[in-house]
Amino acid sequence: MQDAIIQALSKVIDPELRIPLTELDMVGEISVSSEGVAEVEIKLTITGCPASRRIESESKAAIEQVEGIKSVSIKLSVMTPEERDALKIKLRGGKPMKHNPFDETTLTNIFLIGSGKGGVGKSTLTANLAVALSAQGLRVGLIDADIYGFSIPGQLGITEKPTRVDELILPPVAFGVKVISIGMFIEGNTPVAWRGPMLHRAIEQFLSDVFWGDLDVLLVDLPPGTGDIAITLGQLLPTAKTIVVTTPQISASEVAERSGAVGLQTGQAIFGVIENMSYLQQGDQRIELFGSGGGELVASHLSELSKTEVLLLGKIPISIPLREGSDTGNPLLGQESNDLAALAIEQIAQKIAGTGRELAGRRLPLSPR
């Protein structure tokens, strides 16, 4: 009976770590009376764990499905310091503290999503691409690296603070996406007024202090322009590829080229270009409010700079549902929708997902026996 209970609990996933309770050694003492009354201890990682009620209810529901169990009593306790230390070592895979899991050995596909200037919808596209990729069954992480103009938590409806297991930060999960942003650590709409060294340290912590687990894809929402953060991430994420977001205006495309060019300077290949706000569809009429040709122009010029073909990944039309989803924290790609913008973003997500986890050129942590 105890084995059956453990098997049932192996299907209960910790909502923050996204790992079964049994693999996290969160299941403590189990007793079952002759009358079928089960008493099960669940060890939380920290006191006041925000996910405790969910873990308790899902554990109880799972155990109630075990044949022969008449009633269930869940006792919530907290891991000892020694148990918590063992958990942190397990989560880090034996790697030391302050280790960047996305160095040159990573198998995660990393995409830096940037733009030459603000206001082109870069963050909205990044949030919706992350949700679309998660819906395709990929393990997705999202870093809001726009320290001054962070908006990702609001776009994904995240209001809770990250949980800390001592010095390890557990990122909130929304729509299946693990997310971290400076907006989760400040109160209200307080502005962030930091110089270069503090920006660099914040980005390092987003990489090394956060438990990301084994991701298929990591998206990084860059601040507009070509400043300190873009350079820092280029150095810390050597295998990343750049995606440039622009609008159809020719003047906007000239600025957007710089975003891709700075990635080339720090060693990132350019994955492609997205043209946002391409047109407004009114019945059978397509109105190009901001002109046309900007996306193609950026892709063409970046192809010349990089000496490789840079593709225009897609054109996203102006969409009221896309805007409304961002405003309400319920992204369009998290809903059932036949909106033209949703279909276009879904197609771009499929291209990103189709890159797979590449081994070519990667230095793997293997040694011969």
Work out the pLDDT band at 188, boundaries 50, 70, 90. Answer: low
- Tell me whether residue 364 is exposed, middle or buried, using C-beta atoms within 10 angstroms of its C-beta: 0 to 12, 13 to 18, 19 or more: exposed
H/E stretch holding 141 = strand 140-144
Q: In the numeric block, which tokens belong to residue 369?
A: 């026996």
What is the Cα–Cα distance from 268 to 154, expressed in whole angstroms? 29
CATH class of 2-91: alpha beta
Of the candidate ranges 18-27, 42-51, 334-343, the one whose mean pLDDT is the lowest = 42-51
Identity of the amino acid at 40: V
Stated pTM of the model: 0.83
The answer for 277, left when phi > 0, alpha when psi is -120 to 50, beta otherwise, is: left
| Average pLDDT value for residue range 55-69 | 93
- Angle ∠(293,295,297) on CA atoms, nearest 5: 65
Q: Does residue 60 carry a pLDDT above 60?
A: yes
Third-level CATH fold of 109-353? Rossmann fold (3.40.50)
Tokens matching residue 272: 């492609």
**Mean pLDDT across the chain:** 87
Query: What does residue 132 show for φ and ψ, rounded to 5 degrees?
Result: -65, -40
Rounded-to-integer distance, Cα 350 and Cα 337, Å: 16
Q: pLDDT category, 192, cuts 50, 70, 90?
A: low
The C-alpha atoms of residue 74 and residue 29 are separated, in whole angstroms, by 10
Whether the CB-CB separation of 279 and 149 falls below 8 Å is answered with: no
Sequence ranges of the chain with CATH classification 3.40.50.300: 109-353
* 182 backbone dihedrals φ, ψ, rounded to 5°: -60, -25
- Asked whether residue 232 carries a pLDDT value surpassing 90, the answer given is no
pLDDT band at 329 (very low <50, low <70, confident <90, very high): very high
47 or 70, greater pLDDT: 70
CATH 3.30.300.130 domain extents, the chain: 2-91
Q: Which residues does 353 contact at the CB level (< 8 Å), separation at least 6?
A: 133, 136, 138, 217
- How confident is residue 158, by pLDDT bands cut at 50, 70 and 90? very high
pLDDT at 156: 96
Residues 6+ apart with CB under 8 A from 348: 129, 274, 313, 314
**47 CB neighbour count, 10 Å cutoff:** 9
Q: How sure is the predictor about 299, in pLDDT bands with cuts at 50, 70 and 90?
A: very high
Indicate whether 71 pLDDT > 70.
yes
100-129 tens-digit pLDDT: 889 888 999 999 998 878 888 999 999 999
